[in-house]
Structure 1
């Protein structure tokens, strides 16, 4: 074949470059290093497993290759003699993103998204958390960079030959066209609707780099290109959901039993349900909460439903009965929306509303969001006395925090106090030297430190309950305690699995991702255990029933009066009273036996629950509650 341009010199340069060992090795190191670490990401976080030759692993691997080919083509066109330096810069930048992905995924169980990256300085885990999240094998993420640097240094002697732009353009466009064609083919052969409701599915099928392109595209479409005005179709979608919801038959148990009474709701940091009624060598981990269970209603199948906002999402769910955002945190993305929240509903009835959290007010954009949902007063780190000896974990210990918070409440009129604990925040390193509770074989482990932290929080709650009794508030206040999210990333949960006697399967993991919901008020059946499946979105309607007011805009259900139990998780999985659907497997399993269900056994639920997430997303994105809706 005759050379196309420059009398054959351009083609000659390319051929020389290919046969020069150093240059060829550079390209091989770039592609091989990236393929290895991008594949490592998917496998190390548990998105993919099994042989790389099976589907969807092969699709992920091949699409990742073509994505890298596309990146290389762009670099080849844009940079001439500095193309190797440009490749190295691209390598370093993507590696930094990949490190952020792997840390974020291990804690939040999903890749990092553009909205989160925009606020990374406000939500990034602390140094001790990062150290715990890193694994020795993560060195794979940077292994090829020293090789590229060494080869780049050797190029200084031989030099990098120039290639005319027309030749680079023709070559780059051809390679890019092949790569884009292959990626589109893989995309079309994926379950495209799942892209909207399961972020992990995108990375599992097409690779983490494709995920980030999809994430940016979705963000631009949602926030720049999409009309945020509520359309007739949007309005109809929302109104039909609430109309159908109002037709669901229910009983009227305990309605208004706590009407006009105080409400204290406490969100417990990283507090999972398996802690309750458990012992280590005959010692109760949570003796105070165990005692409270005998005087309360306990929901034993209660699941957290948080997304990228984690703790802040739990707050949003419980106070608004809407699902968190599909990407990022509601607290950052929608603080200007109109909400029919618990604080606003109680303020209409003459209540004072307080929120307490002994951390920085800017964290999770709480200062702004609390105004949007209607809290009268927000007490944060600067509002508490914080002696050095009372610091536990991230700040003021919960023992002092709870008692100081109680002092700040005006008790001369009905109040709603929302308290968010902090001491048991991951990674629990501050409790390593705490000897108040002997964790036996788990001493010196992260799990052992967590047990110590949980025991400390339980002790703080015990002191708080005693103070309520002294002040005559215990029998005059509706008390609600619940956990916000998981205690451990899945790949750091070996000791937890050993403690519970479960295996490392996705089914067992999801089955045990429960947090406690404890509701106390005189007149409720003491010691009753409810087995209905629910989630944090159900707290508001359940509290509203007990306090005797209506919540027509709540998406959740009253757990004391519903016949059907379920919890939809933001990642696309869901749990019902009888089975668990695992989104990243695309399969459902019987809750008791683990039997894999046929699709026909759960497809109607899948469509209904997917529609529920769509309604919530529409409400958030279109600020639907700002408009007049026909909802009764």
Structure 2
């Protein structure tokens, strides 16, 4: 019996169909992509097709059947791995991979337990289509004789691919005008362009970013300089210089969100020390993290520079050689010894390189600490011994000093040794949320010991201690468990509010003399640099920065997230929807419209500064 005769076009079409259907299933089951109408659902359904038709269509130009089959199978496997990489990344970060993130390979060895936690036993199901394709190819090799494809058939195939691309982009542009020029939100790109086309666009953006520095010149700073000078707010004269000459200790509190403050688990306070510290500090209850894919490193970048992080990757990796005008450098010019303290590898997040650009005099890393297995867990040294050893190091620092401390224990996947568990686990379907409360409670206890150690060693009275949450700890993938804990639905409005992180400004001799205050104004990490420098008596009027002094009576209550969402005193704009803070319900978009141009301008200006390394041209 002879072999069946089939055109060369059959196998790539089968491969396209299998990966198309799998991708759509992944959209609906593994990503949380908001669909508001039938048009958006249709775009989501068809958006993988054009890319898949083009990429598998390349096989039609290959000479031998063996090379064609190898190409089709290899391409299917590679694209499946890319899709799966996005799935695992999304499980924790609620975000999609970018090219700069893939380049951050030096971090992978340190990810350890966090990465493994997001890989599940049933993940083999994401490769079932690859297995099906493999058996189809074997069947074809044994039973099918391919008929050479005619030029007219090949032309028709690629015309169909092009038609699908134009149809997809036309619908996307109608649904989201100026999609590629106005959006900073990767979910919107994936929803409208598809995962694979999004990655192609990401490669284009990376090449564009690399070219921007080479083409940049100082003239681009003129408009930016005019903009930031116009938005500068004068510091409060009663607060300016109130901590001048004191040591500045800034503590980056890993993954600490505000919803745990003054809250409990089964009657046990989650943060008893911090709750009490509110009475002796300036506590900002509407303070938001503004990090992107760089997470902790982004929060450091915001703190030091009052510039926004990039929408893709981490500035610490992509632009570590940039000229900066950082807070550490400014305090160094004022006679401060400047350092950062982090009991981890120097190269993690490229810190050893980036910290030189920031202007630190010294980086106290893992080699400066006595780290043993007994005092380590998860990502490294436990917070309590970290604080203890850090105070010992502070004693030998030149005075006055500025040091930034980065904690580790309250890090995903939030695991603790039994002796460090001060409260019971929460009981929900999310092990991540359940354990989170325990690691937060441990960090709170470590902070209590830290404050006492500073007092015992005579460092407390002449220091200002600033503590802030660096980014979220509980992603939107745990919304069901969060709804159980909060007792309400986690809407996009609530999700935006969950991005609040604590900010404590504790000034011995000031706030612990009855001047502690809960401040409700809206602020974000972008505001830290001008706020702290003004407290230290350093004027920032001539700085290129986008933040405003939080203590200034003229501070505008307006913060921008990296994806283009924003929050004001009255409104929350997220996922293309305007919400009233008073009702927590959607309202007419016209209420939020006046702020949108400012959002685009600030993010765009900040990106220009970073991508073009524009501060190398600036002289204040």
TM norm structure 1: 0.90
User: Corresponding residue for 2:516?
Assistant: 527
Give the distance between the partners of 1:32 and 1:175, measured in 2 at CA: 14
User: Corresponding residue for 1:323?
Assistant: 308
User: Corresponding residue for 1:118?
Assistant: 103
Quick one: which of 544, 547, 570 aligns to 1:553? 544
Give the paired residue count.
Answer: 608
Give the distance between the partners of 1:459 and 1:153, measured in 2 at CA: 62
The correspondence of residues 450-529 of structure 1 with structure 2, limited to 5 A, is: 450-521=436-507, 522-524=509-511, 526-529=515-518
> Is the Cα–Cα contact under 8 Å of residues 88 and 148 in structure 1 kept in the other structure?
yes
Q: Deviations over 1:477-513 (max 9, x none)?
A: 1110011111122112432332122313222111111
Q: 1:46 to 1:509 in 2, by over 3 A?
A: farther
User: Corresponding residue for 2:584?
Assistant: 594
- DSSP 3-state at the match of 1:429: coil
Give the distance between the partners of 2:57 and 2:212, measured in 1 at CA: 28
- Which 4+ residue blocks in structure 1 deviate beyond 6 angstroms? none
Quick one: which of 605, 609, 631 aligns to 2:599? 609
Give the distance between the partners of 2:490 and 2:13, measured in 1 at CA: 36
Higher alpha-carbon deviation: 209-218 or 140-149:
140-149
> Is the Cα–Cα contact under 8 Å of residues 73 and 173 in structure 1 kept in the other structure?
yes
Q: 1:431 to 1:589 in 2, by over 3 A?
A: farther
Q: 1:466 to 1:432 in 2, by over 3 A?
A: closer
> Is the Cα–Cα contact under 8 Å of residues 115 and 327 in structure 1 kept in the other structure?
yes
The alpha-carbon deviation at position 59 of structure 1 amounts to: 1.3
Q: 1:566 to 1:529 in 2, by over 3 A?
A: same
Give the distance between the partners of 1:225 and 1:437, measured in 2 at CA: 51
Whether 1:438 and 2:424 are equivalent positions in the alignment is yes
Give the distance between the partners of 2:209 and 2:132, measured in 1 at CA: 41
> Is the Cα–Cα contact under 8 Å of residues 77 and 168 in structure 1 kept in the other structure?
no
Give the distance between the partners of 1:214 and 1:43, measured in 2 at CA: 22
- DSSP 3-state at the match of 2:521: strand
The alpha-carbon deviation at position 132 of structure 1 amounts to: 3.4
Structure 1 residues not aligned, in runs of 5+:
1-12
User: Corresponding residue for 2:83?
Assistant: 98
The alpha-carbon deviation at position 610 of structure 1 amounts to: 1.2
The correspondence of residues 291-310 of structure 1 with structure 2, limited to 5 A, is: 291-310=276-295
User: Corresponding residue for 2:264?
Assistant: 279
Q: Deviations over 1:214-243 (max 9, x none)?
A: 1111112221377532253x2232122123
Give the distance between the partners of 1:137 and 1:432, measured in 2 at CA: 30
TM norm structure 2: 0.92
Q: 1:265 to 1:170 in 2, by over 3 A?
A: same
The correspondence of residues 46-57 of structure 1 with structure 2, limited to 5 A, is: 46-50=31-35, 54-57=38-41
User: Corresponding residue for 2:528?
Assistant: 539
User: Corresponding residue for 1:157?
Assistant: 142
Give the distance between the partners of 1:435 and 1:229, measured in 2 at CA: 53
The alpha-carbon deviation at position 36 of structure 1 amounts to: 2.7
Give the distance between the partners of 2:110 and 2:221, measured in 1 at CA: 39
User: Corresponding residue for 2:246?
Assistant: 261
The alpha-carbon deviation at position 555 of structure 1 amounts to: 1.5
The correspondence of residues 227-238 of structure 1 with structure 2, limited to 5 A, is: 227-230=214-217, 232=219, 234-238=220-224
Give the distance between the partners of 1:298 and 1:442, measured in 2 at CA: 30
Give the distance between the partners of 1:55 and 1:120, measured in 2 at CA: 39
> Is the Cα–Cα contact under 8 Å of residues 304 and 485 in structure 1 kept in the other structure?
yes
User: Corresponding residue for 1:10?
Assistant: none
Whether 1:174 and 2:159 are equivalent positions in the alignment is yes
User: Corresponding residue for 2:189?
Assistant: 202
User: Corresponding residue for 1:6?
Assistant: none
> Is the Cα–Cα contact under 8 Å of residues 84 and 152 in structure 1 kept in the other structure?
yes
User: Corresponding residue for 2:231?
Assistant: 245
> Is the Cα–Cα contact under 8 Å of residues 429 and 481 in structure 2 kept in the other structure?
no
- DSSP 3-state at the match of 1:518: strand
Higher alpha-carbon deviation: 309-318 or 594-603:
594-603
Q: 1:106 to 1:124 in 2, by over 3 A?
A: farther
Higher alpha-carbon deviation: 411-420 or 441-450:
441-450
User: Corresponding residue for 2:566?
Assistant: 574
The alpha-carbon deviation at position 69 of structure 1 amounts to: 1.8
Q: 1:94 to 1:186 in 2, by over 3 A?
A: same
Give the distance between the partners of 2:188 and 2:213, measured in 1 at CA: 23
Q: Deviations over 1:319-373 (max 9, x none)?
A: 1111001211100111111111111011011110111111111111000000110
The alpha-carbon deviation at position 434 of structure 1 amounts to: 5.1
Structure 2 residues not aligned, in runs of 5+:
none
Q: Deviations over 1:134-157 (max 9, x none)?
A: 467755521211111112222232
Give the distance between the partners of 1:412 and 1:429, measured in 2 at CA: 36
Give the distance between the partners of 1:176 and 1:55, measured in 2 at CA: 20
